Amino acid sequence: MKVAVLNGPNLNLLGQREPHLYGQTTLAGIEAELSQVAAELSVQLTFGQFNGEGDLVTAVQTARACDGILLNAAAYTHTSIALRDAVLAIGTPVWAVHLTDPEAREAFRHIDYLADVVVGRTVGLGARGYAVALRALTQHLRTEV
């Protein structure tokens, strides 16, 4: 089973960027933890982080060759109809990850263009949310196929 882990803008700054919100764990730390979980689950992972909206859309399109996608679209969750259209177009199950709970934050973060086109969402668990999401997506893929 192959899963692409795609991260949107500013997630390359995890560990430095607003640690009171996003924690101290870096993106490399998240990827290392996910690699361990993937080994337990017999899942092969690929990783990518993209600051540009078009780059993230292209990455989603390319990842359609995988069995599933973990996607932290970051700010593009709240702004990108193009990303929503890409998720709809590929037909690959996508699980959304949010480090914080957008509903508990600014009003503009309550808009989620992806919520109704992903197979599931993990919100507000910080860095450990990625591992939770990978386990949930893997379970979904194994039971839905």
Catalytic residue check, 22: yes
* Whole-angstrom distance, CA of residue 61 vs CA of residue 64: 6
**Residue 113 annotated as catalytic:** no
Catalytic residue, candidates 20, 78, 98, 110: 98
**Any residues with CB less than 8 A from the CB of 134 and at least 6 apart, and which?**
3, 5, 34, 37, 38, 41, 43, 70
Among 22, 76, 113, 130, the active-site one is 22
The SS3 of residue 21 is helix
Give the residue numbers annotated as catalytic, written as ranges: 22, 98
